[in-house]
Amino acid sequence: MRGRAKPPAAPLPQRDGIDPVRLRLPEDPDGAWPTVRDHLLARFADAIGARRVDAMFAEGRFVSVRGPVSAEEPYAAGRYIWFHRDFAPEEPVPFPVGVVHRDEHLVVAVDEPHFLATTPRGRHITETAVARLRRELGLPTLQPAHRLDRLTAGLVLFVVRPGERGAYQTMFRDRLVRKEYEAVAPYDPARAFPRTVRSRIVKEHGVVAAREEPGEPNSESRIELLEHREGLGRYRLLPATGRTHQLRVHMNGLGLPIVHDPLHPVVEAEGAPDDFSRPLQLLARVLEFTDPVTGGPRRFESGLRLSAWPDR
């Protein structure tokens, strides 16, 4: 059985570092969509409204490899259509993305600031690390090999060559990367460190906070106390697994929630604007691995510092 042919290259350039949306028109066994417009109205009327769909046709916003698509064109299953979505205004994240390492053909290692998402998702589209870097570095094919939680700062690996992205993604998937995080959290002299925490973490769809529950452990973190002062500790966190919000959940489970964590121990108001003066005190400090393309050793270290632990 032959696989589906590779989609053609997009006939639209990126806009603000974001690729156009690509649609492949599905089968229409009931003949419900005589024209392309009929299908797009059924698909998008609830999201953006029929008037906006018609306006986008009038503006030539829907494009195929042959050029703009008119509303009256007959429907053809399997056809590819591209368009650029309308970007809602986004509050700029007032911190730069710092390039820690760049080489000519393999990777870009960057310091992602607090509050900046790695990739477009939800209400964060153009204010993302990948969109910014594509614009600032002039690398439209740049792609992340992994993602960092939006509230966590620190190292993220980006791949320059699309053909090599899979090798780096597989490395993260197979846990071949040593990750080292740093956190600032309360200090409790009754807690002995270092220690390894193993627990079962559950993250339900639609529920913002992950939680621990009884059962077979599916997560593991090593936690080390580096130093303490004035009721706070600076911790090294070494995750062996990668569950959602794992380090935040494990620190909270010890009664030591990370400073400025909006989910632990209590979920703060959802949808509230970001308070840039209260960044989560969690930093992806080190990435270390054997390069899957060159075979050589790689070690990157963040140049960022956590604001709750200033140098003295």
pLDDT digits (tens, 9 = 90+) for 152-194: 999 999 999 999 999 999 999 999 999 999 999 999 999 999 9
pLDDT reported for residue 122: 84
Q: Where in the chain is the domain with CATH 3.10.290?
A: 21-83
pLDDT reported for residue 1: 44
d(CA 279, CA 153): 9
For 47, the token pair is 């999201």
CATH topology of domain 21-83: 3.10.290
More confident residue, 311 or 292: 292
**pLDDT value at 54 more than 70:** yes
pLDDT reported for residue 47: 84
**pLDDT value at 6 more than 90:** no
Least confident of 40-44, 109-113, 143-147, 237-241: 109-113
Phi/psi at 169 (5° precision) = -65, -40
For 60, the token pair is 């030539």
pLDDT reported for residue 105: 63
Residue from 223, 187, 149 nearest 308 by CA: 187
Four-point Cα dihedral 195, 198, 203, 207, nearest 10: -40
Residue from 91, 95, 116 nearest 273 by CA: 91
d(CA 108, CA 300): 10
Q: Where in the chain is the domain with CATH 3.30.2350.10?
A: 98-301
Q: Which residue carries 């028109």 as its tokens?
A: 25
**pLDDT value at 3 more than 60:** no
Mean pLDDT to the nearest integer, 13-39: 95
d(CA 285, CA 305): 9
CATH topology of domain 98-301: Pseudouridine synthase (3.30.2350)
Please report which confidence band the pLDDT of residue 106 belongs to, taking 50, 70 and 90 as the band edges.
low
Residues 291, 106: contact at Cβ < 8 Å? yes
Please report which confidence band the pLDDT of residue 104 belongs to, taking 50, 70 and 90 as the band edges.
confident
Cis peptide before 68 (omega within 30 of 0): no
Residues 290, 267: contact at Cβ < 8 Å? no
For 272, the token pair is 């509230």
